[in-house]
A = this chain, B = another copy of it.
Amino acid sequence: MSAKNAFYAQSGGVTAVINASACGVIETARKHSDKIGKVYAGRNGIIGALREELIDTSLESLEDIAALRHTPSGAFGSCRYKLKNLEENKREYERLIEVFRAHDIGYFFYNGGGDSQDTAYKVSQLSEKMGYPITCVGIPKTVDNDLPFTDCCPGFGSVAKYVAISTKEAAMDIASMCESSTKVFILEVMGRHAGWIAAAGGLAGKNSTEAPHIILFPEIPFDRDAFLTRVDECVKEFGYCVVVASEGAQYEDGRFVADAGQKDAFGHTQLGGVAPTLANMVKQSLGYKYHWAVADYLQRAARHIASATDVTQAYAMGQAAVEFSVNGKNAVMPIIQRESSKPYKWTVGEAPLSQVANQEKKMPIHYITDDGFGITEECREYLAPLIRGEDYPPYDDAGIPIYVKLQNTLVNKKLRSDFKV
């Protein structure tokens, strides 16, 4: 049997280290040229497969592929696109097979979160259900840290580091100013369903008397009165109050705090912003001067302050995916298994895609303090190693990081038909 080509795609929200996984896939595949031919990357993820827009990574230099390790974002483009069930949209699967066959693709590496692992699982069934043999391995990625089985998700550690450091720096700023100016600072971070990222803000302080004084988790129903009472207590006790709020903070009835009825001048509901909403509450109820920040994409793109642990693990997951595939494993996803926290030790394990798909790992409730506003020691022990180490990108003479931009040359199309996505 001659070496089959591989298809690699990035899926869902990109991260500071998803390209490190891509680097791991491509560099490892190049070492297994007896089994894997070329690595084609989907232009804009799985959409690239459906449109037959395949990027030939073999045309990229060794240096450029190596530079993926320190380049944030998705080098080949990503997408938010979820394949339906085989029964619901057989047309898409037939198209995939058509494209895979045309380009002699025998390996499928899908780099993404829960939805993406679901897609990877569906593709892995092509072999059985539609008679097209393909080796299918998922690669975990999500800043939300909500995949099951794996101890953590590549992408999370770097966001966590960014949020912890940003919280610390902003807290020091407000501490300097609070005597005569700002009393309350609110940082809004990602995490619509799980509070992992907000929890990482807790690493800015060593304990509950240090900022951040309040963390708002999606897991804990938002209680306006309790929140305002605590803000007031902190200002009186410490002189200021630092809040890290998950964008997913919500009331008991499931309404997002961010959606709590703000309207613009035209009467349209104003979308988003748990931080300004909370700031407004503080202003109206307590009258304190406030500042707020919304980190948004900055947090997940912040390769300049990536966690070395995270970069290493992201690369290792890409590498392991390829090694699994050449060793005959199928329909699996490499995972990170924690052997110990002190000292931090981890190994690469595996989980079956059938069980990974569409499961969400919430924060354990014992990671949150009884008052609902902080993280426990157990949580600190879990989080701390994930933000350990700095993995700085190189910089140019102008003071800007040198991130690689690949050629991204498309393979000539072999199919006559287009496919609308």
Q: At the interface with chain B, which of A248-256, A271-279, A316-324? A: A271-279
* Residues 384-398 of chain A, each 1 if its beta carbon lies under 8 Å from chain B, else 0: 100111101001011
* Residues 291-329 of chain A, each 1 if its beta carbon lies under 8 Å from chain B, else 0: 111111110111111010100000000000000000000
Name which residue of chain B comes closest to A74, CB basis: B176
Which B residues lie within 8 Å of A384 (CB)?
398-399
A265 with B263: in contact, given A10-B176, A177-B14, A294-B293 (CB under 8 Å)?
yes
B264 x A179 contact (CB < 8 A): no
A79 interface residue (CB < 8 Å to B): yes
Which B residues lie within 8 Å of A72 (CB)?
169, 172-173
Q: At the interface with chain B, which of A26-34, A102-110, A115-123, A160-168? A: A160-168
Which B residues lie within 8 Å of A273 (CB)?
273, 276
Which B residues lie within 8 Å of A61 (CB)?
none
A185 interface residue (CB < 8 Å to B): yes
Kindly state the interface size class of chain A when it binds its partner: 35 or more
A181 interface residue (CB < 8 Å to B): yes
A170 interface residue (CB < 8 Å to B): yes
A390 x B395 contact (CB < 8 A): yes
Interface centre among A74, A185, A280, A389 (most CB of B within 10 A): A280
A271 with B280: in contact, given A176-B74, A298-B295, A400-B203 (CB under 8 Å)?
yes
A168 with B401: in contact, given A263-B265, A276-B273, A280-B271 (CB under 8 Å)?
yes
In Å, the complex CA distance between A309 and B268 comes to 46
B204 x A298 contact (CB < 8 A): no
Which B residues lie within 8 Å of A166 (CB)?
298, 301-302
**For residues 153 through 197 of chain A, which have their beta carbon under 8 Å from a beta carbon of chain B?**
161, 164-166, 168-170, 172-177, 179-181, 185, 187
Residue among B179, B185, B388 making CB contact with A77, cutoff 8 Å: B179
**For residues 89 through 127 of chain A, which have their beta carbon under 8 Å from a beta carbon of chain B?**
none
Which B residues lie within 8 Å of A161 (CB)?
399
In Å, the complex CA distance between A305 and B279 comes to 27
A261 interface residue (CB < 8 Å to B): yes
A145 interface residue (CB < 8 Å to B): no
- A243 → chain B, closest Cβ, in Å? 13
B403 x A399 contact (CB < 8 A): no
- A303 → chain B, closest Cβ, in Å? 6
In Å, the complex CA distance between A177 and B300 comes to 13
- A228 → chain B, closest Cβ, in Å? 15
Closest CB pairs A-B (n = 5): A261-B265, A74-B176, A73-B172, A293-B296, A169-B301
Interface residues of A (CB under 8 A from B): 10, 13-14, 16, 44-45, 47, 71-75, 77-81, 161, 164-166, 168-170, 172-177, 179-181, 185, 187, 203-204, 260-266, 268, 270-273, 275-276, 279-280, 283-284, 291-298, 300-305, 307, 309, 384, 387-390, 392, 395, 397-401, 403
14 further A-B pairs in the complex, CB-CB below 8 A; given A13-B177, A45-B180, A168-B400: A14-B173, A44-B179, A47-B179, A72-B173, A73-B176, A75-B176, A165-B401, A173-B297, A203-B399, A261-B265, A272-B276, A276-B276, A298-B298, A388-B399
